[in-house]
Protein backbone atom coordinates (compact mmCIF):
# COMPACT_ATOMS: atom_id res chain seq x y z
CA UNK A 1 0.00 0.00 0.00
CA UNK A 2 1.53 3.31 -1.04
CA UNK A 3 1.07 6.47 0.94
CA UNK A 4 -0.58 9.52 -0.58
CA UNK A 5 1.77 12.19 -1.82
CA UNK A 6 1.38 15.86 -2.60
CA UNK A 7 1.28 16.19 -6.42
CA UNK A 8 3.40 19.34 -6.14
CA UNK A 9 6.18 17.37 -4.43
CA UNK A 10 6.48 15.12 -7.51
CA UNK A 11 7.34 18.05 -9.78
CA UNK A 12 11.03 17.62 -9.12
CA UNK A 13 12.22 19.28 -12.37
CA UNK A 14 10.56 22.51 -11.25
CA UNK A 15 12.23 24.65 -8.54
CA UNK A 16 10.43 25.71 -5.39
CA UNK A 17 10.49 28.95 -3.39
CA UNK A 18 13.86 28.08 -1.80
CA UNK A 19 15.57 27.69 -5.18
CA UNK A 20 14.28 30.81 -6.91
CA UNK A 21 15.64 34.36 -6.44
CA UNK A 22 13.69 36.34 -3.86
CA UNK A 23 14.69 39.67 -5.41
CA UNK A 24 15.31 41.04 -8.90
CA UNK A 25 17.96 43.35 -7.51
CA UNK A 26 15.96 46.55 -7.87
CA UNK A 27 15.49 49.10 -5.13
CA UNK A 28 12.19 49.89 -3.46
CA UNK A 29 11.04 52.97 -5.37
CA UNK A 30 10.43 55.39 -2.49
CA UNK A 31 10.18 55.73 1.28
CA UNK A 32 6.38 55.53 1.24
CA UNK A 33 6.00 52.04 -0.22
CA UNK A 34 7.13 50.06 2.83
CA UNK A 35 4.91 51.93 5.35
CA UNK A 36 2.00 51.62 2.90
CA UNK A 37 2.35 47.84 2.83
CA UNK A 38 2.55 47.66 6.63
CA UNK A 39 -0.55 49.85 6.93
CA UNK A 40 -2.57 47.54 4.67
CA UNK A 41 -1.36 44.37 6.41
CA UNK A 42 -1.76 45.61 9.99
CA UNK A 43 -5.27 46.97 9.55
CA UNK A 44 -6.75 43.97 7.71
CA UNK A 45 -5.26 41.35 10.04
CA UNK A 46 -8.37 41.03 12.28
CA UNK A 47 -10.52 40.44 9.16
CA UNK A 48 -8.20 37.72 7.88
CA UNK A 49 -8.00 36.06 11.30
CA UNK A 50 -11.79 35.73 11.33
CA UNK A 51 -11.81 34.50 7.74
CA UNK A 52 -9.01 31.99 8.43
CA UNK A 53 -9.25 30.82 12.06
CA UNK A 54 -6.78 28.08 11.11
CA UNK A 55 -4.22 30.73 10.06
CA UNK A 56 -4.00 29.38 6.52
CA UNK A 57 -3.27 32.49 4.47
CA UNK A 58 -0.28 34.51 3.39
CA UNK A 59 0.45 38.12 2.52
CA UNK A 60 3.21 39.15 0.16
CA UNK A 61 4.83 42.58 0.27
CA UNK A 62 7.01 43.31 -2.76
CA UNK A 63 7.48 39.54 -3.07
CA UNK A 64 7.77 37.57 -6.29
CA UNK A 65 4.95 35.51 -7.77
CA UNK A 66 6.59 33.02 -10.15
CA UNK A 67 4.36 32.15 -13.08
CA UNK A 68 6.75 30.60 -15.64
CA UNK A 69 10.30 29.29 -15.96
CA UNK A 70 12.74 31.68 -17.61
CA UNK A 71 16.45 32.39 -17.78
CA UNK A 72 17.19 34.27 -15.60
CA UNK A 73 14.44 32.98 -13.30
CA UNK A 74 13.34 36.39 -11.99
CA UNK A 75 12.14 37.32 -15.49
CA UNK A 76 9.36 34.81 -14.94
CA UNK A 77 8.00 36.57 -11.87
CA UNK A 78 5.91 39.60 -11.01
CA UNK A 79 6.31 41.22 -7.61
CA UNK A 80 3.13 43.03 -6.52
CA UNK A 81 3.73 45.62 -3.86
CA UNK A 82 1.04 43.87 -1.79
CA UNK A 83 -1.01 40.71 -2.30
CA UNK A 84 -3.09 38.26 -0.30
CA UNK A 85 -3.64 34.53 -0.91
CA UNK A 86 -6.15 32.58 1.13
CA UNK A 87 -6.14 28.89 2.04
CA UNK A 88 -2.38 28.41 1.80
CA UNK A 89 0.08 27.96 4.69
CA UNK A 90 1.93 31.09 5.81
CA UNK A 91 5.17 29.07 5.88
CA UNK A 92 6.36 26.10 3.84
CA UNK A 93 8.03 23.13 5.53
CA UNK A 94 8.82 25.33 8.50
CA UNK A 95 10.57 27.93 6.37
CA UNK A 96 9.64 31.55 5.73
CA UNK A 97 8.37 32.00 2.20
CA UNK A 98 10.92 33.53 -0.17
CA UNK A 99 8.42 33.80 -3.03
CA UNK A 100 5.06 32.46 -4.19
CA UNK A 101 5.37 29.76 -6.87
CA UNK A 102 2.16 29.24 -8.84
CA UNK A 103 3.15 25.91 -10.36
CA UNK A 104 3.56 24.42 -6.89
CA UNK A 105 0.53 25.90 -5.14
CA UNK A 106 -1.96 26.65 -7.93
CA UNK A 107 -4.10 29.05 -5.86
CA UNK A 108 -4.18 32.57 -7.29
CA UNK A 109 -4.04 35.64 -5.04
CA UNK A 110 -7.43 37.14 -4.24
CA UNK A 111 -6.05 40.65 -4.62
CA UNK A 112 -2.82 42.17 -5.92
CA UNK A 113 -1.93 45.83 -5.49
CA UNK A 114 0.67 47.90 -7.30
CA UNK A 115 1.95 51.23 -5.97
CA UNK A 116 2.79 53.51 -8.89
CA UNK A 117 6.09 55.36 -8.67
CA UNK A 118 6.34 56.44 -12.32
CA UNK A 119 3.61 57.48 -14.73
CA UNK A 120 1.52 54.31 -14.26
CA UNK A 121 2.18 52.94 -17.74
CA UNK A 122 4.06 49.92 -16.37
CA UNK A 123 1.14 48.90 -14.18
CA UNK A 124 -1.33 49.31 -17.09
CA UNK A 125 0.82 47.62 -19.73
CA UNK A 126 -1.25 45.06 -21.67
CA UNK A 127 1.59 43.81 -23.91
CA UNK A 128 1.21 39.99 -24.19
CA UNK A 129 3.74 38.05 -22.11
CA UNK A 130 5.48 41.23 -20.93
CA UNK A 131 3.04 43.79 -19.58
CA UNK A 132 2.09 43.68 -15.90
CA UNK A 133 -1.61 44.18 -16.55
CA UNK A 134 -1.63 41.37 -19.16
CA UNK A 135 0.28 38.97 -16.89
CA UNK A 136 -2.02 39.56 -13.93
CA UNK A 137 -5.15 39.28 -16.09
CA UNK A 138 -4.17 36.35 -18.30
CA UNK A 139 -1.80 34.26 -16.16
CA UNK A 140 -1.70 35.01 -12.42
CA UNK A 141 -5.46 35.76 -12.21
CA UNK A 142 -5.89 37.74 -8.98
CA UNK A 143 -9.64 38.25 -8.62
CA UNK A 144 -8.94 41.94 -7.92
CA UNK A 145 -6.12 44.14 -9.19
CA UNK A 146 -5.52 47.62 -7.80
CA UNK A 147 -3.33 50.41 -9.15
CA UNK A 148 -2.61 53.01 -6.47
CA UNK A 149 -1.10 56.39 -7.31
CA UNK A 150 -0.14 58.40 -4.24
CA UNK A 151 0.79 61.43 -6.39
CA UNK A 152 -2.79 61.57 -7.70
CA UNK A 153 -4.46 60.45 -4.46
CA UNK A 154 -6.27 57.77 -6.46
CA UNK A 155 -6.71 54.04 -6.88
CA UNK A 156 -8.13 52.05 -9.79
CA UNK A 157 -9.60 48.67 -8.90
CA UNK A 158 -10.31 45.96 -11.45
CA UNK A 159 -12.29 42.75 -10.95
CA UNK A 160 -11.67 39.64 -13.02
CA UNK A 161 -14.92 38.82 -14.82
CA UNK A 162 -15.03 36.18 -17.55
CA UNK A 163 -11.25 36.11 -17.80
CA UNK A 164 -10.88 39.87 -18.27
CA UNK A 165 -10.45 42.77 -15.89
CA UNK A 166 -13.39 45.12 -15.54
CA UNK A 167 -12.83 48.53 -13.98
CA UNK A 168 -14.98 48.87 -10.87
CA UNK A 169 -17.00 51.96 -10.09
CA UNK A 170 -16.58 53.58 -6.68
CA UNK A 171 -19.50 53.58 -4.24
CA UNK A 172 -21.02 56.66 -2.61
CA UNK A 173 -18.08 56.82 -0.19
CA UNK A 174 -15.57 56.76 -3.02
CA UNK A 175 -14.52 53.21 -2.05
CA UNK A 176 -14.31 49.95 -3.97
CA UNK A 177 -15.99 46.80 -2.72
CA UNK A 178 -13.78 43.73 -2.28
CA UNK A 179 -16.78 41.51 -1.63
CA UNK A 180 -15.07 38.18 -0.80
CA UNK A 181 -13.33 39.88 2.14
CA UNK A 182 -16.31 42.02 3.15
CA UNK A 183 -14.22 45.19 2.99
CA UNK A 184 -13.88 48.34 0.93
CA UNK A 185 -10.67 49.82 -0.44
CA UNK A 186 -10.08 53.53 -0.88
CA UNK A 187 -7.99 56.62 -0.17
CA UNK A 188 -7.56 58.08 3.33
CA UNK A 189 -5.89 61.43 3.84
CA UNK A 190 -3.99 61.45 7.10
CA UNK A 191 -0.71 60.98 8.93
CA UNK A 192 0.93 57.59 9.25
CA UNK A 193 4.52 56.96 10.34
CA UNK A 194 5.26 60.69 10.35
CA UNK A 195 4.02 61.27 6.78
CA UNK A 196 0.87 63.18 5.84
CA UNK A 197 -0.29 61.53 2.61
CA UNK A 198 -3.30 60.10 0.78
CA UNK A 199 -2.86 56.51 1.98
CA UNK A 200 -4.49 53.39 0.56
CA UNK A 201 -6.68 51.86 3.28
CA UNK A 202 -9.50 49.44 4.13
CA UNK A 203 -12.99 50.13 5.50
CA UNK A 204 -15.73 47.75 6.63
CA UNK A 205 -19.05 47.56 4.77
CA UNK A 206 -20.56 50.19 7.07
CA UNK A 207 -17.86 52.68 6.12
CA UNK A 208 -15.82 52.39 9.32
CA UNK A 209 -12.08 52.70 8.84
CA UNK A 210 -10.17 49.52 9.73
CA UNK A 211 -7.61 50.61 12.29
CA UNK A 212 -4.05 49.49 12.84
CA UNK A 213 -3.05 47.97 16.16
CA UNK A 214 -1.52 51.28 17.22
CA UNK A 215 -4.67 53.19 16.25
CA UNK A 216 -6.85 50.73 18.16
CA UNK A 217 -4.65 51.13 21.24
CA UNK A 218 -4.81 54.92 20.94
CA UNK A 219 -8.59 54.79 20.55
CA UNK A 220 -8.89 52.63 23.66
CA UNK A 221 -6.60 55.02 25.57
CA UNK A 222 -8.79 57.95 24.58
CA UNK A 223 -11.91 56.07 25.71
CA UNK A 224 -10.29 55.33 29.06
CA UNK A 225 -9.28 58.96 29.49
CA UNK A 226 -12.78 60.18 28.64
CA UNK A 227 -14.24 57.72 31.16
CA UNK A 228 -11.79 58.94 33.82
CA UNK A 229 -12.74 62.57 33.18
CA UNK A 230 -16.44 61.70 33.26
CA UNK A 231 -16.02 59.99 36.64
CA UNK A 232 -14.09 62.98 38.00
CA UNK A 233 -16.88 65.35 36.93
CA UNK A 234 -19.48 63.08 38.55
CA UNK A 235 -17.51 62.99 41.82
CA UNK A 236 -17.16 66.79 41.79
CA UNK A 237 -20.92 67.21 41.22
CA UNK A 238 -21.79 64.86 44.08
CA UNK A 239 -19.42 66.64 46.46
CA UNK A 240 -20.89 70.02 45.47
CA UNK A 241 -24.23 68.62 46.72
CA UNK A 242 -22.68 67.49 49.98
CA UNK A 243 -22.61 63.86 49.00
CA UNK A 244 -19.41 61.94 49.47
CA UNK A 245 -19.23 59.25 46.73
CA UNK A 246 -18.37 55.72 47.69
CA UNK A 247 -14.88 54.68 46.68
Residue 188 lies in a domain: yes
**What is the β-pairing status of strands 100-101 and 77-78?**
unpaired
Asked whether residue 4 is domain-assigned, the answer is: no
- Supply the DSSP symbol for 88: S
Domain count of the chain? 2
Question: Do both 246 and 124 map to the same domain?
Answer: no
- Evaluate whether residue 151 is within a structural domain: yes
Q: Are 183 and 170 in contact (CB under 8 A)?
A: no
**What helix, strand, coil percent values describe the chain, rounded to 5?**
30, 25, 45
Q: Is the residue at 177 inside a domain?
A: yes
Indicate if 228 and 110 belong to the same structural domain: no
> Residues 69, 185: one domain?
yes
Going by C-beta distance under 8 Å and a sequence separation of 6 or more, which residues neighbour residue 85?
57, 58, 59, 60, 100, 105, 107, 108, 109, 110
Per the structure, the complete domain to which residue 226 belongs is given by 212-247
CA angle 133, 202, 50 (to 5 degrees): 105
Q: Clarify whether residues 91 and 171 are in a common domain.
A: yes
Residue 13 domain-assigned? yes
Same domain, 202 and 233: no
Q: Report pTM.
A: 0.83
| Domain co-membership, 154 together with 171 | yes
- CA dist 110 and 54 (Å) reads 18
- Determine, yes or no, domain membership for 2: no
Taking only the tens of pLDDT, the chain with its 247 residues reads 443 444 444 444 566 656 555 555 554 467 889 999 999 999 999 999 999 999 999 999 999 999 999 998 889 999 999 999 999 999 998 999 999 999 999 999 999 999 998 999 999 999 999 999 999 999 999 999 999 999 999 999 999 999 999 999 999 999 999 999 999 999 999 999 999 999 999 999 999 999 998 988 887 777 777 878 888 787 778 788 778 877 6
Amino acid sequence: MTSATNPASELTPFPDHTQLPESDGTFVKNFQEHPQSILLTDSIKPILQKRHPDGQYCIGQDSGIYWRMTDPPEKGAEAPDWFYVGNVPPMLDGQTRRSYVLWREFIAPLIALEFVSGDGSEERDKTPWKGKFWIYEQVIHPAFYGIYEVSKASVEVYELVGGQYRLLAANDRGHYLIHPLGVELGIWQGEYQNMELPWLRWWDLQGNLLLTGEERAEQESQRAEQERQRNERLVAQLRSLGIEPEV
